[in-house]
Amino acid sequence: MGMGSQAHAASYGTPTISLSAAYLSGAVGATGDPAVQVTIAQSGADAGALTVSASKSSKTSVAATGDVAVSGTGPTRQVTVTARAQGYTDLTLKVTGLGGKTATKTLHYAASAAAQLPSDTRYFTGSSDASAAVDAGGGYALVADDESNVLRLYDRSASGAPVKTWDFSSRIGADKEIDIEGAARVGSTIYWTGSLGNNKDGEYKAARNTVFTTTVTGSGAATDLSFGGAYGKLRDDLVAWDKANGNRYGFAAGTADGEIPKEIDGFNVEGLEFAPGSTTTAYLGFRAPLTPAVTGGKALLVPVTNIDQVVAGKASASFGTPVELDLGGLSVRDLRKNAANQYLIVAGSWAADDNSDPYALYSWTGNAADRPVQLRSLPTSDPGAWEAVVDVPDLTVPGARAQLITDDGAADLYGDGTDAKDLTHPEWQKSRATWFTVTG
């Protein structure tokens, strides 16, 4: 190098590189895995002249440097990774600037195993315990989880982090998790309910006895939420109602101290949806108990006939005639309807061993006299429990599709024996969203 070239090289500063996230999750064989944005610069140089590449992988069997793709020009680039196998690897990303100067950052990458229907599957990151969802319009969904009180807005077509988040704990007065398990939307109001049951150790936790509302403005990516109201005695009202009717469903026994909620005779709510044509009567769908509380028993819905007045603080809950549905011995894990009052029911076991027990998807008219119709079984070979259906398509149209979401909190996503809910980086926590064809 001549003297002039050396002087020119000296005029370039050391490049800089920063990542939008230091942790990234993918899946083997996935479609549309999330990307990381890389921002680069070098004093004295145009950013377009800089290059970004992967220079090292700590575990090439998970992803090698050749599995890292860089796209874009200028100061921001997009980095995606194609996973080879389940596990973890640290990927060194290097920016090379003018004058041969370089800088590096480490991207901590985790890959989950291949799932069934990969082209129809996306992963919502930031939480692994999705438990309820409602359509936000424009291809977006609002998703709750049962390990926090945070509501998240996701692009339904893409894997990745939430677009927006909200936590109304302080407005509700809840310093513990509500254990959100059901949601239903009417107009611009979304109702969210806790499980209403004891915790897994059989202890009463007041926050779980909560139903609250949020008010929606905007739609799609522009969706915003504001707090409406909350009610903290729905469980108490249910127990009193059941007692007044001869303890038909055993609610008092199921909520007693020491009683585990996910038992065949337990007490645990997981579904919420409005009755046909109503904006004030909402069905509570029970995971437990079955009725009768024996193998092969029916699933239970209890109508709250004044849920609008309840959450507004104007009345205690009143209840209509309960509905008992034959779901082949399964219970309600979610309940959703469309404007034409066509319902989908996600049915699963009352038990806590979610990943091995059967799941099925049923259609229903919303009328107590009509029997639900099984549309399909749901796959159980992948980790995660089917917990939510976002919306209901027109079930009279052949080939109609619905998107279902799993709770992966108890899943060992990356093969290291760690439950997803216990992973220390939210970017590695995720729930699986899969599109299914539900009509022939």
pLDDT in tens, 176-195: 999 999 999 999 999 999 99
Domain of 13, in residue numbers: 3-112
Stretch 264-289: mean pLDDT, rounded?
98
pLDDT in tens, 296-342: 999 999 999 999 999 999 999 999 999 999 999 999 999 999 999 99
Q: The tokens 């359509």 sit on which residue? A: 135
pLDDT in tens, 349-363: 999 875 678 999 999
Domain's final residue, options 83, 112, 141: 112
Stretch 110-114: mean pLDDT, rounded?
98
Which residues of 20-63 form beta strands (DSSP E)? 23-27, 36-41, 51-57
Asked if 235 and 145 sit in the same domain, the reply is: yes
pLDDT in tens, 64-81: 999 999 999 999 999 999
Asked if 65 contacts 57 with a C-beta cutoff of 8 angstroms, the reply is yes
Give the Cα separation of 428 and 93 in Å (integer). Answer: 19
The pTM of the full predicted model, rounded to 2 decimals, is 0.95
Domain CATH code at residue 308: 2.120.10
Structural Rg of the chain based on CA atoms? 25
Given a cut of 50, whether residue 36 has pLDDT beyond it is yes
Asked if 92 and 146 sit in the same domain, the reply is: no
Domain's final residue, options 112, 127, 146: 112
How do strand 140-145 and strand 130-137 relate by DSSP bridges?
Answer: antiparallel
Give the Cα separation of 434 and 438 in Å (integer). Answer: 12
Domain's final residue, options 78, 112, 146: 112
Give the other-Cβ count within 10 Å of 317's Cβ. Answer: 23
Given a cut of 80, whether residue 5 has pLDDT beyond it is no
Given a cut of 80, whether residue 135 has pLDDT beyond it is yes
Domain CATH code at residue 12: 2.60.40.1080
Give the other-Cβ count within 10 Å of 393's Cβ. Answer: 17
Bond preceding residue 289 cis, omega within 30 of 0: yes
pLDDT of residue 364: 98
pLDDT in tens, 357-383: 899 999 999 999 999 999 999 999 998
Tokens (6 digits) for 342:
């066509």
Element (H, E) at 422: none
Tokens (6 digits) for 243:
């007692």
Asked if 134 and 196 sit in the same domain, the reply is: yes
Counting residues of the chain whose pLDDT is more than 90, the rounded percentage is 95
Stretch 43-64: mean pLDDT, rounded?
97
Asked if 157 and 298 sit in the same domain, the reply is: yes
DSSP letters, 185-232, are: EETTEEEEEE--S--TTS---GGGS-EEEEEEES-GGG-EEEEEEEES
Helix, strand, coil % (nearest 5) of the chain?
10, 40, 45
pLDDT in tens, 191-238: 999 999 999 999 999 999 999 999 999 999 999 999 999 999 999 999
